[in-house]
Amino acid sequence: MSVILITGTSSGIGLATAVHFARKRHDVYAAVRNPTTAGALAEAMVKEPLPITRVTIDVDDASSVRRGVDEVLAKSGRVDVLVNNAGLGGGGPIEDVPIDWAKTLFETNYFGAIRMIQAVLPGMRARGSGVIVNISSVAGRYVPAGHGHYAAVKHALEAASEALALEVTPLGLRVVIIEPGVIVTPIFSKAKRFVAPDSPYAHHLRRLLLMYQRQLTNPTPPERVAETIEEAVTTPTPRLRWLVGDDAQRLVAGRRRISDEEFVADASAATDAEWEALMRRRYGFEWP
């Protein structure tokens, strides 16, 4: 039985991962930023007798991270696996997104994960074991127009994860990067989107949302991400990166096959139909 600490478990991937590991009888610490909006987690804990302890952690707040991790360490003595899942979605074209909002995105999706990592590492190093799981995205490998800041924050998390892997693997620790494609969770309804009324980039955002809609007709459920996290943590043949979902596989493989110049030229597709044809040809998407 391992001690698993997961951030952002009020919904979506975090909630599914907490339930998944608890069903496997691991000792799960499910962190939420606000207990009053964590009704789905409370319901899951009432429905089934699961070994889940709820803790309050706002990853934006250093003292909240310290208090939450100290609470877990006081109760369990250790953290074997940290899953950095808490995150925000949304954004828009680079020119249209207010810098303050982009900073908010980095505060949560990047610095939030780093705060958590810094809080658990001393204990993991002292024991010479532990796994850090960072929930990135296919956007950490593939950059869509109209989604630059989100892709930037996930690229940043991937770079930090690689550096961390180089630093801590020799100490007996492990780092895992999870890269889901489109997963059906509340992130899409919560996401803030920015596009100026007369934006010359509006069609990019429209195409991005079109791609989400199409993917969500045959969605990858958050449980699939949870299963992948478990496999990544327990596999006897460790790997740094784990894509989740057919769309994520296709986008990364397709992007590898084309040059930067072809990739950039594709954004000049004059109509949505032309753009869809390119998505078929380059990435093999067969949408309805």
Name the site residues for ligand NAP (rule: CB under 6 A): 7-14, 33-34, 37, 57-60, 85-89, 108-109, 112, 135, 137, 180, 182-183, 185-187, 190, 222
Beta bridge partners of 133: 83, 176
Locate all alpha helices (DSSP H) within the chain, ordered by sequence: 12-23, 39-47, 62-76, 99-106, 112-127, 148-168, 187-190, 202-215, 222-234, 246-257, 260-266, 272-283
Q: Which residue is nearest to ligand NAP (CB)?
A: 12
Q: How far is the CB of 156 from ligand NAP (least distance, A)?
A: 12
175 in Cβ contact with 8 (< 8 Å): no
Q: Which residue's CB is nearer to ligand NAP, number 22 or number 182?
A: 182
184 torsion bin: left (phi>0), alpha (psi -120 to 50), beta (else) = beta
**Active site (annotated) includes residue 150:** yes
Q: How far is the CB of 124 from ligand NAP (least distance, A)?
A: 21
**CA within 13 Å, CB half, 278:** 18
Q: Which residue's CB is nearer to ligand NAP, number 111 or number 129?
A: 111
Q: How far is the CB of 61 from ligand NAP (least distance, A)?
A: 8
Catalytic residue among 150, 201, 212, 283: 150
Cα 35 from Cα 57, distance rounded (Å)? 9
Q: How far is the CB of 83 from ligand NAP (least distance, A)?
A: 10
Give catalytic residue positions: 150
